[in-house]
Amino acid sequence: MKAAGRLAVTHRDLPPAADGPPDDPVLIVDHLTMRFGGLVAVNDLSFKVGRGDITALIGPNGAGKTTVFNCITGFYKPTEGMIRLCPEGGGAYLLERLPGHDVNRLARVARTFQNIRLFPRMTVLENLMVAQHKPLMQASGFSLAGILGLPGYRRAEAEAVEKARAWLQRIDLIGRADDPAGDLPYGDQRRLEIARAMCTDPVLLCLDEPAAGLNPRESADLNTLLRMIRDEHATSVLLIEHDMSVVMQISDRIVVLDYGLKIADGTPEQIRTDTRVIAAYLGVDDEEVEAVEAEVGLAGAQA
Amino acid sequence: MEFFAQQFINGLTLGSIYGLIAIGYTMVFGIIGMVNFAHGDVFMLSAFIALIVFLALTTWIGLTSVPLVFVIVLVCAMALTSLWGWAVERAAYRPLRGSFRLAPLISAIGVSIFLSNFVQVVQGARNKPVPPLVRDVFVLYSHENYVVTLSYKQALIMITTAVLLAGFWYLVQKTPFGRAQRACEQDRRMAALLGINVDRTISLTFVLGAALAAVAGTLYLLYYGVVSFSDGFVPGVKAFTAAVLGGIGSLPGAVIGGLIIGLIETFWSAYFSIEYKDVAAFLILIIVLIFKPSGILGRPEVEKV
Amino acid sequence: MAQGSTLPAAAASGTRREASALPEIVKDAALFALVTFGLSIPIVAIRTDLGQGTGLYLTTRWGLVAALCGAVFVLRLIQRLVMLRVGQSRLAAQEKQAASGLAAPVGRLAASLGPLTLGLALGLPFIAVIGGGGLSEGRYWIDLGILILTYVMLGWGLNIVVGLAGLLDLGYVAFYAVGAYTYALCSTVFGLSFWVCLPVAGLFAAAFGVLLGFPVLRLRGDYLAIVTLAFGEIIRLVLINWVDFSGGAAGISSIPRASFFGIPFTAGEGGFASTFGLDFNPMHRVVFLYYLILALALITNLVTLRMRRLPLGRAWEALREDEIACTSLGIDTTMTKLTAFALGAMFAGFAGSFFAVRQGFVSPESFNFLESAIILAIVVLGGMGSQIGVAIAAIVMVGAPELLRNLGFLRAVFGEGFDPNEYRLLLFGLAMVAMMVWRPRGLISDREPSIRLGKAAR
């Protein structure tokens, strides 16, 4: 109750970003602090993710990005602060209060992991079927109807397979549907993990370094996939990424973290020219700044 | 009060033995994160080795000097059990590094079954009694009908435990091996990069654990005067309980846990019911694991996502 | 012994150095023999036996030690030489095969093994009767069949928990005990019939599973194993000590026998034989029990196979693969584990109630930790998750020692007192270790997908 009261206050107190925060946010992170013993991994962080946007969370190594993700997706309980998810029809879920699995099951926040976490011995198709656990569980009458082989469940299963098939076509893995997921090449595993997350019909999709370890072609494919997700599904995207070419090309907004603190929040153009970002993100060495400014400028020209 | 004091002494004696076994669990868990399920059976095996060496010394060679017999038995049991500890690690655990997560535990259960039945096959299924080595007692306190005694046996057990623990503490804290061991505990890959022979350090950890189990085995034989092939299981589980209670991975924790378990068991038997004394130990294990898996001195584990 | 660690070394040496490697191999084998010698002193070399009085006397057995060392030397030598012969390429192929399970032809063999085994199981009483020359003569085989099928059923039940959900349960026998005592008490105290008690026993065991599972299923894998072990021991100790309730260590005897769905297997009027116009024979009941446990085991199998294809079963397997990923996909891991735990416990309860009705007598000693370990060994050796593997492991592990016992020539070789059953657990233990070292996914490790895109349209 106390926390709910604070929410009303903090809304007004939220520091305005350069061009004002997104008007219709799907996720509001509010004064989030996460301490591990003496270490403050995230310090009083507030930002919003706009509905239908791709928002990037960037920052140097150890800035606390993955910790923020783990707080949003229920793996850590934040020391302080609130994380509010606003579905389309109104209402809100306070993510920090939900048990881990309910963050996906009720609030419909899905995520991928920095070090891919597929079910390696299960097939590609099975991975996508597990992701549709909730509707299938209901259709199978919590296994009772399923074990008797009632038609209702068989219909639901066929639908689930169709959905999986559609995603497999989209990520170009239809030919490998019956192979163990662990046998796929790295880039395919990354795409499969995103498809698996999407099979849970998320409102918000959190991607932890989706482009890490991808070659330039795979990276370009990823950009297409993420744009498609944003444009064709009612899913907003929040991603952590180091690859600036990905971040600058596809992000609608960028939030920059350093040492657990937010140092900037805005459109890619604003971030590109923000001196604080350049100083913090790239170090204060002038030559380095120039070099990376050039790179960022180049990326901007491409976009 | 006198009854209480007497039970306290008995409990400490028993606890010393548990503590010695618990160190083996806690060290192995610390360094490779595995529950060495077979450790209780290594303890039982060591008691058998001590038994045979003792009989050989007294009946064949005819040694009569009690301290000499005790020291020789102890040293032989430690040496031979260490070899077993080394062999078990080499054969059953080392090939499994990097296997799936339950593999080492299943292998350890296999070793445990193997060891107890191996001893049964080679030594027979019956209880093996030994004549008592020392019978004398110190009378600490005597008042009317109440007598509080400390038997030589108990004193010997406590002194041996204390001396060996001190030596062991020195080994882990002050020697290069100890440093290597603590380094491996924290980050095995980094330790390897810095030139520490990780395999050898792990082997030595098992050897040390087995040696301490052998001390416990010898003292157990001395205290109870009888051993059988199935005696590894229950003391093994109790010592594991001690390790968990003290905080698994923590050496002082293992000793403290051992003493607490020894005391609880003794008092439980003395004041409540002797039939349920094992139930008490098992219940403590379950309760500690559910409510405080990090134990008294352990560090809580942070889940890595 | 430590083959795993020497394997890469052998691969690196290749065939080129075959000749030069020989002295090294002999040295290595000698080292193994030396370690064996060290391990054998004094535990093998000197045997202690109780004498006439109270003391123990010692006998030396250096011959046995020498034989052991010799055997280890020869085995190691053969092993290294075979590994040397297997060329580098073959070795690589073999390793790959070991990683991905049996090769396709062997996999197909395993697939056809299922119907074959089922056919054999269904026909066993007939084969035994014809082969033995009469109902009573075939009894030994049918009894052995019942014993094996009980373990098959327990193995399949535990396979749900260990093989599918990846939860190491070392106290499985506790649920077996709950089932057995439920029937024993319900029938002796309340006079309920077996057919009423059977589902009750299953539900009761499942309830115990939930009761234990709820607090402990959050624990990490090895802690869970230890807690279940402790739970199993607590159940056994309570059964021993709570004499008023369970009869204590003496157990409960004269438990009513099973009836043929209400028709008793008795000699007189209204009995099974007279109802069906047969001559009375006590074997009718034994054959009936055989088919009863076969049916129970097959139900366990059927339910498991069905569950694998359902979302819950898939969630179990996903849980075994990656718990954190499951949470991120909205799967309540504790509840999902609990269902696997409860279902496994339920089948153990059924099996326990069968055990009680067959024996007519239950005592706590039938439910000790070793029993759990044997069932676990069957599951592990069968290849966690493989149904046919578990069945074969049960047949080999339970059946083989029984059969060996009756082979006369073994006694001629090893002496009159030789009993293979004594070595059974020793071999179980060794086999578990060997399995983890060489084939951690079990003998039959081919995993059949629960759904295929091609077949899904059906």
Distance between CA atoms of A210 and A195, rounded to whole angstroms? 12
- pLDDT at residue A162 above 50? yes
Per-residue model confidence (pLDDT) at position A18: 35
Segment A161-176 mean pLDDT: 90
Q: What is the mean pLDDT of chain C?
A: 81
What is the CATH code for C126-438? 1.10.3470
Per-residue model confidence (pLDDT) at position A212: 85
Per-residue model confidence (pLDDT) at position C202: 94
Segment A209-215 mean pLDDT: 87
In chain B, residues with a C-beta closer than 8 Å to the C-beta of C170 are 109
Per-residue model confidence (pLDDT) at position B83: 94
Predicted ipTM?
Answer: 0.86
Q: What is the mean pLDDT of chain A?
A: 81
Confidence category of residue C297, pLDDT binned at 50, 70, 90: very high
Per-residue model confidence (pLDDT) at position B242: 92
Which of the residue ranges B54-63, C6-15, C29-38, C314-323 would you say has the lowest mean pLDDT?
C6-15
Confidence category of residue B112, pLDDT binned at 50, 70, 90: very high
- Closest chain A residue by Cα to residue C101: A121
CB C80 within 8 A of CB C10: yes
Q: Number of A:B CB contacts under 8 A? A: 6
Task: Locate the domains of chain C by residue range.
Answer: 2-100, 126-438
Distance between CA atoms of B267 and C68, rounded to whole angstroms? 46
Which of C224, C426, C428 is the best mutation test for B, with the most CBs of B within 10 A?
C426
In chain B, residues with a C-beta closer than 8 Å to the C-beta of C429 are 110-115, 117-118
Convert the pLDDT of each residue in A48-74 to its tens digit.
898 888 999 988 877 888 899 899 998
Segment C382-403 mean pLDDT: 83
Per-residue model confidence (pLDDT) at position B258: 93
Convert the pLDDT of each residue in C298-332 to its tens digit.
999 999 998 988 899 999 999 988 999 999 999 99
Percent of chain A with pLDDT over 70: 85
Who has greater pLDDT, B214 or C273?
B214
Confidence category of residue A303, pLDDT binned at 50, 70, 90: very low
In chain B, residues with a C-beta closer than 8 Å to the C-beta of C219 are 289-290, 293
Closest CA to A276 of A265, A292, A258, A263: A263
Per-residue model confidence (pLDDT) at position B302: 57
Ramachandran region, residue A99 (left: φ > 0; alpha: ψ -120 to 50; beta: rest): beta
The size of chain B, in residues, is 305
In chain A, residues with a C-beta closer than 8 Å to the C-beta of C315 are 130, 133
Confidence category of residue B39, pLDDT binned at 50, 70, 90: very high
Convert the pLDDT of each residue in C330-357 to its tens digit.
999 999 999 999 999 999 999 999 999 9
Per-residue model confidence (pLDDT) at position A10: 36
Convert the pLDDT of each residue in B40-52 to its tens digit.
999 999 999 999 9
Distance between CA atoms of A237 and A228, rounded to whole angstroms? 11
Segment C187-199 mean pLDDT: 88
Distance between CA atoms of B236 and B126, rounded to whole angstroms? 20
Which of the residue ranges B37-41, B123-127, B143-147, C233-237 would you say has the lowest mean pLDDT?
B143-147
Q: Do A146 and C306 lie within an 8 Å CB cutoff?
A: yes
- pLDDT at residue A13 above 50? no
Distance between CA atoms of A9 and A3, rounded to whole angstroms? 10
- pLDDT at residue B220 above 50? yes
Where do runs of H (alpha helix) occur along C331-399? 333-359, 369-382, 387-394
Confidence category of residue C3, pLDDT binned at 50, 70, 90: very low
Per-residue model confidence (pLDDT) at position C50: 80
Per-residue model confidence (pLDDT) at position A164: 92
Per-residue model confidence (pLDDT) at position C150: 94
Distance between CA atoms of C237 and C247, rounded to whole angstroms? 12
Pairing state between β A54-58 and A253-258: parallel
- Closest chain B residue by Cα to residue A67: B305
Helix (H, G, I), strand (E, B) or coil at C180: helix
Who has greater pLDDT, A281 or C194?
C194
- Tell me which residues of chain B have a C-beta less than 8 Å from any C-beta of chain A: 302-303, 305
Nearest CA of chain A to the CA of C318: how many Å? 6
Which of the residue ranges B138-152, C55-69, C150-164, C209-223 would you say has the lowest mean pLDDT?
B138-152
Q: Do A129 and C451 lie within an 8 Å CB cutoff?
A: yes
